[in-house]
């Protein structure tokens, strides 16, 4: 086996482990009791408020806890989306052709559905876990999770297309 294939396989294993850790963290948050979740959100809220207040010299700045909670959904799944996009990009051949626009579209259809479906599965299980731990479970949170994953996957695809375009 040549060095490039070994290196690619090693990177594939590393990114897969990182994805599994990310899913474990996401689901770990879902296993928290309502009280633990509220305590964690309150802690993050205090930190965000303190940072913004000190940077802006606005001691009256207050952020609603719901913004912290919903931002956490978006950010967790944005991270998962990037990781999935990287893993899938490692596994596909370069889809870009001389026709740059067609190459980007082919790239989107090559791996966006796989990453999207995996993210949807993780998000659905995430909300199901919350339901069984006595926390609020919401279809809207799944939608927010998917928005985070989709956003990061599409940003990844666009950046990848720009980088590959410059290489040619």
The parent domain of residue 141 ranges over 3-167
Q: Total domain count for the chain?
A: 1
SS3 92: coil
List, for residues 124-151, the tens digit of each pLDDT value.
999 999 999 988 888 999 999 999 999 9
Contacts made by residues 110-117, CB under 8 angstroms, sequence distance 24+: 111/85, 112/153, 112/154, 112/157, 114/84, 114/88, 115/81, 115/84, 115/85, 115/88, 115/149, 115/153, 116/146, 116/149, 116/150, 116/153
pLDDT of residue 103 exceeding 70, the answer is no
List, for residues 56-89, the tens digit of each pLDDT value.
988 889 999 999 999 999 999 999 999 998 888 8
- The dihedral region occupied by 18, where left means phi > 0, alpha psi between -120 and 50, and beta the remainder, is alpha
Q: Give the pLDDT band (50/70/90) at residue 5.
A: confident
């Amino acid at each position: 086996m040549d060095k490039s294939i070994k290196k690619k396989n090693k990177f594939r294993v590393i990114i897969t482990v990182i994805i599994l850790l990310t899913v474990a963290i996401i689901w770990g948050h879902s296993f928290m009791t309502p009280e633990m979740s509220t305590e964690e959100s309150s802690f993050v809220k205090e930190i965000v408020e303190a940072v913004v207040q000190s940077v802006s010299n606005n001691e009256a700045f207050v952020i609603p806890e719901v913004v912290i909670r919903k931002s956490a959904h978006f950010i967790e799944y944005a991270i998962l989306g990037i990781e999935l996009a990287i893993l899938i990009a490692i596994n596909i051949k370069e889809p870009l052709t001389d026709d740059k626009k067609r190459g980007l579209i082919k790239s989107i259809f090559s791996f966006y559905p796989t990453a999207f479906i995996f993210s949807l599965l993780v998000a659905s299980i995430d909300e199901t876990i919350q339901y069984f731990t006595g926390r609020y479970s919401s279809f809207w949170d799944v939608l927010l999770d998917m928005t985070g994953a989709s956003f990061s996957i599409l940003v990844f695809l666009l950046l990848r297309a720009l980088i590959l375009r410059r290489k040619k």
